[in-house]
Structure 1
Amino acid sequence: MINLDGEERMAMGLRIYFLDEIKLERKITPSTKTLQLRDFCFSHKNQPETLHIKECDIPAQRVTVIIGNNGAGKSTFARCFCSLEKKCGKIIYNGQSMKPKDRLNACYMVMQEVNHQLFTESISDEIKISMEHDDENLEKEILEQLDLILYRDRHPMSLSEGQKQRVAIASAAASKRLILVFDEPTSGLDFRHMKEVASILKELQEKDKTVYVITHDLELIADCCTDVIHFENGRIIDQYPMDKDGLLKIEKYFIKEESLTIIGGILPSSTGVGWTAFIILG
């Protein structure tokens, strides 16, 4: 397996072997639109604060990856941002403050555990409940993009975990919400399906959507993300564009923060990077 060239591995749905194989897939221009966070803090009842952002501007109408160690506050930030947690501070979007109800209406979040977000009797119905108005053409287009068209009449719970993940992503894309948040959207996906998800995220940005992606999938980041937000201890400690310098910076982060163990053979990675020649141990 390790002697296969890049094209052969892609044809088999396998991921990269080494970080230096990753290349940026598109030219990144500086962000011109931002969204403001003010007093964006959160703590569970009688617990220490897990999120503390006093004042910060973050990219809008971009595909921004959110990175950080486990427990850094990434998922808490996403839940607060979408107003799934209450009393999390203020968001200013396009110059206007967004009330919690506004955020619930403007945001769509795909959680890492997608089984909690699949409700209907068929994939087709799952897409339709996200739409403002039924649109057969849009439904078909999204299902074809995510390699789900042959399963449109299947019950979501009869699918594999990777297929369920793509159904949840399809529902988000069909929702036409202004802001979409994805928590590990390519977990368990092979190369082909990771590329399909990346294509959807790029299309959403081209339609002026604001996309935030929590992920450890460096291939996905290099393919479609335009900006990076780095969390640590509930705070944003760094932001930078996903240009060539950004790619080097994020590669160093993954190498520094994770212990790499080379193994003999090809095993699925538990980090979301996919099929690789190493396991990344947290």
Structure 2
Amino acid sequence: MTRALEIQELTYTYPHAEQPSLSGVNLGMESGRFLVIMGASGAGKTTLTLCLNGLIPQLLEGQIQGKIEVDGLDVSKYRTQTLAQQVGIVFQDPESQIIGLTVEEDVAFGPRNFMLPEEEIQNRVREALSRVRLSGYELRKTEELSGGETQRLAIAGILAMRPNILVLDEPTSELDPAGRSEVFATLDDLRKEKEMTILIVEHSAEEILNRADEVVVMRKGKISWQGNPFILFRNFPLLQELGLRPVPISVPFWRFYQQGWITAEEIPLGIPEAFETLKKMLRRGVRLKSQQKAELKLIASLNTRGAVAIKNLQYCYRNAEPTLKGINLAIASGEFLALVGANGAGKSTLTKHLNGLLKPTEGEVWVSGKNTKDYSTVELACSVGYVFQNPDHQIFESSVEKEIAYGLKNAGLDEARIKKRVEDELQFTGLECFRQVHPLTLGKGQRQILAVASILALQPEILVIDEPTAGLDWTEAQRVMNLVKKLHEQGTTIIMITHDMEWVAEYAERVVILHQGKILLEGDPKTIFAQSECLREASIIPPQVVQLSQRCAELGLQCDWLRGEELVKAWVKEGEAKNG
């Protein structure tokens, strides 16, 4: 089989950096294979991908040693423009590679640079857009796309150039579950139909387990582990050592393995396997506890004074069809609310009304007793803090300390109060040791926490946080969510936009599903996740534990688990009931 990729002793150091970002990397890949690169942020994953088509060192310069061959071509001897016909790269930040004013123009950009006939270009545009679920968007302005739509457009632009090797750097981090499934289904088709070689950087294991021929885990610029993904994700100590997120459904079954109820090979990595493992446990005398029922998490003494009241809200972008259509919603002070739905459902549009970034076309939005039509964004900032999906969109200063002080200065606080609040937030968020560091040199997780800190310094009553863990490694995601949890426990109203239903199950007290600009459903997580038809309509996949709970009806078991800990507590070995 032809070698698609051959890397030998690759070492690379960014300009002015003290330590190399890649150190002695050796990696080979045969044509038609599907390789996944995993690892914590800063491990060197993105840097490695940028070496594959010559962007490093042709664009980013720095010191590079070693040899890279793609499809038999020595990368050091060809321009990036030439290598683009062999290697197509979809970057982690899709906005960085969007060029056209419209969707159609953007996808056509690459093929046009290859001097293809116009008919062929249009065929490629149609095919690429169809594969990423953007048919009908041809004339849509790229600046008006949602984050997930932008991500899919970036993939379409690469697919239109039909490279032999497709490299994707976290291509689905901003997509809803349906979008993720369709992108991976597209990759499946490409691999089968065109024998395309695929290399993907990914944090989440669920979609890649049954696709990856091999997983490579990087740490500190080196390859730390390489092998079969099923072996990796059944080894919890190794996952912890490497800083990788376990498959959610496997977590409670690891506890069963530790209790000796199942073997390591029986730890499931999907719902069908989990169901079969439960049946084996039943045959071995492991039983559901009598009268065991997972307790519904109660909302802790919500203040009767409403934090948010939205009445008949309608919003239109530039005389287009309404994006929001008659939204009515009340959010209580101190509540933790998850706002979910497919990309383009209107989630970000809705929350941008809370701090005045958008004003209603019709209807009213009241925040902390203020009608947002009568107040500017600056005036509302002390009531509503907004952390964007991309933290870089709200970082302005040259040091962490100055960044936290930025909003306070604009709010007109005196120096003494500014200093006090900056110190408080540095300690609260654990950023003290980075106070003089330039924000853009931090990892994405640290930048996300900095964005939260700069908002918290204004002491808002309400915190809106848009996709707080998108693109973060497991350690960073846990750190961000622990910070959000701590804020909620101290009384802050949290409104979280997310596609990650595992976080919703873990933290949210109420869930609101938006679908095509309307509220499709709202309620506590257990009620929401039981509504299968509505979830399908809104492209939402419930947490794996919930899926397993629902399937247990086939065994005559009545259970309504929401989180893994509930599943673990529900079972007992015969003869151990008195201790259970």
Bin for the TM-score computed over the shorter chain: 0.7 to 0.9
Kindly state the Cα deviation for residue 105 of structure 1 after the two structures are TM-superposed: 4.2
**1:180-218, CA deviations, whole angstroms, 9 ceiling, x for partnerless residues?**
111111112222222222222222223322211111123
Contact 2:399/2:439 (8 A) holds in 1: yes
Structure 1 Cα separation of the partners of residues 240 and 510 of structure 2: 26
* CA distance in structure 2 between the partners assigned to 1:174 and 1:113 by the alignment: 19
Q: Which residue of 1 aligns with 2:433?
A: 150
**Partner of 1:115: helix, strand, or coil?**
helix
1:106 corresponding residue in structure 2? 383
Q: Contact (CA 8 Å) 2:426, 2:432: kept in 1 or not?
A: yes
Q: Say if 2:309 and 2:367, in contact at 8 Å, map to a contact too.
A: yes
Look up the SS of the partner of 1:119 in the other structure: coil
Match of 1:128 in 2: 405
Shift of 1:38: 0.9
- Give the letter aligned to residue 4 of structure 1: N
CA shift digits 1:119-144 (9 cap, x unpaired): 11101111122445322541332231
Alignment CA distance shift 1:228-1:164 (3 Å): same
8 Å Cα contact 2:381-2:458 kept in structure 1 = no
Give identity over the alignment, percent.
Answer: 26
Partner of 2:345: 72
Select 1:84's aligned residue among 352, 357, 371: 357
Matched, 1:28 2:298: yes
Name the residue aligned to 1:41. 314
Q: 2:427 aligns with which of 126, 141, 163?
A: 141
Q: Which amino acid aligns with 1:3?
A: R
Is the CA contact 1:59–1:227 (under 8 Å) kept in the aligned structure 2? Answer: no
* CA separation of 1:77 and 1:19: change in aligned 2, threshold 3 A: farther
Letter paired with 2:244: L
Q: Take 2:476 and 2:245, find their aligned partners in 1: how far apart are those partners?
A: 11
Of 127-136 and 41-50, more deviation after overlay is shown by: 127-136
Is 1:187 equivalent to 2:462 in the alignment?
no
Structure 1 unaligned residues grouped into runs of 5+: 260-282
**Does residue 17 in structure 1 map to residue 292 in structure 2?**
no
Question: Does 2:483 correspond to 1:209?
Answer: no
Per the alignment, in what secondary structure is the counterpart of residue 80 of structure 1?
Answer: coil
2:177 paired with 1:177? no
Give the root-mean-square deviation of aligned CA atoms.
3.2
Deviation at 1:227, TM superposition (A): 1.5
Worse-superposed segment, 82-91 or 53-62: 53-62
Matches within 5 A, 1:253-264: 253=535, 257=539
Mapped contact 1:124–1:139 kept (Cα < 8 A): no
Question: Residues 38, 110 of structure 1: CA spacing in aligned structure 2 closer, same or farther, 3 A cutoff?
Answer: same
Which structure has the larger Rg over C-alpha atoms? 2
- How far apart are residue 108 of structure 1 and its match? 1.5
SS in 2 for 1:45: coil
The secondary structure found in structure 2 opposite 1:257 is coil
1:228, 1:258 → 2: CA distance?
12
Give 1:248 deviation, angstroms. 5.6
2:114 aligns with: none
Report the number of matched residues.
252
Q: Structure 1 residues 8, 63: CA separation in 2 closer, same or farther (over 3 Å shift)? A: farther
Q: CA deviation at 1:93?
A: 4.5
Are the aligned partners of 1:199 and 1:224 in contact in 2 as well (CA < 8 Å)?
no
Q: Per-residue deviation at 1:246?
A: 4.7
TM-score normalized by the length of structure 2: 0.39
Secondary structure, aligned partner of 1:185:
coil
Q: Return 95-104 or 170-179, whichever deviates more.
A: 95-104
Deviations 1:88-107 (A, max 9, x none): 53233566645333534421
Q: Find the partner of 1:60 among 333, 353, 357.
A: 333
Pair 249,202 (structure 1): closer, same or farther in 2 beyond 3 Å: farther
1:202 and 1:53 mapped to 2: Cα distance?
31
In 2: Cα distance, 1:139 partner to 1:176 partner: 10
2:235 matches 1:4: yes
Report how far residue 166 of structure 1 moved. 2.1
**Cα shift at 1:51:** 0.6
CA distance in 1 between partners of 2:238 and 2:458 (Å) = 36
Asked whether the 8 Å contact 1:10–1:191 carries over to 2, the reply is no
> Which of residues 411, 434, 442 is equivalent to 1:159?
442
- Distance (whole Å) between structure 1 residues aligned to residue 357 and residue 343 of structure 2: 20
Which residue does the alignment assign to 2:99? none
Q: 1:10 to 1:246 in 2, by over 3 A?
A: farther
In the aligned structure 2, how far is the partner of 1:108 from the partner of 1:95?
16
2:445–2:480 CA contact under 8 A, matched in 1: no
1:271 equivalent in structure 2: none
Q: Distance in 2 between matches of 1:56 and 1:151?
A: 40
State whether residues 51 and 234 of structure 1, in contact with CA within 8 Å, keep that contact through their aligned partners in structure 2: yes
Q: What is the letter of the counterpart of residue 165 of structure 1?
A: Q
CA distance in 2, matches of 1:197, 1:90: 32
Q: Describe the SS at the equivalent of 1:29.
A: coil
Q: Label 1:258 to 1:179 Cα distance change in 2 as closer, same or farther (>3 A).
A: closer
The residue type paired with residue 77 of structure 1 is L
Q: Once the 2 structures are TM-superposed, how far is the Cα of residue 238 of structure 1 from its aligned partner?
A: 1.0
Whether contact under 8 Å (1:62, 1:211) holds in the other structure is: yes
Q: Taking CA–CA contacts closer than 8 Å with sequence separation of 6 or more, which of the two structures ends up with the larger relative contact order?
A: 1
Could you tell which deviates more after superposition, 9-18 or 78-87? 9-18
TM-score (norm 1): 0.76
How far apart are 1:233 and its partner, in Å?
Answer: 0.6
Question: How much has 1:41 moved relative to structure 2?
Answer: 1.1
CA distance in 2, matches of 1:110, 1:54: 22
Which shows bigger deviation, 194-203 or 125-134? 125-134
State the SS of the aligned residue for 1:42.
strand
Query: Relative to structure 2, which stretch is displaced further, 117-126 or 159-168?
Result: 159-168
Shift of 1:237: 1.2
Deviation at 1:15, TM superposition (A): 1.4
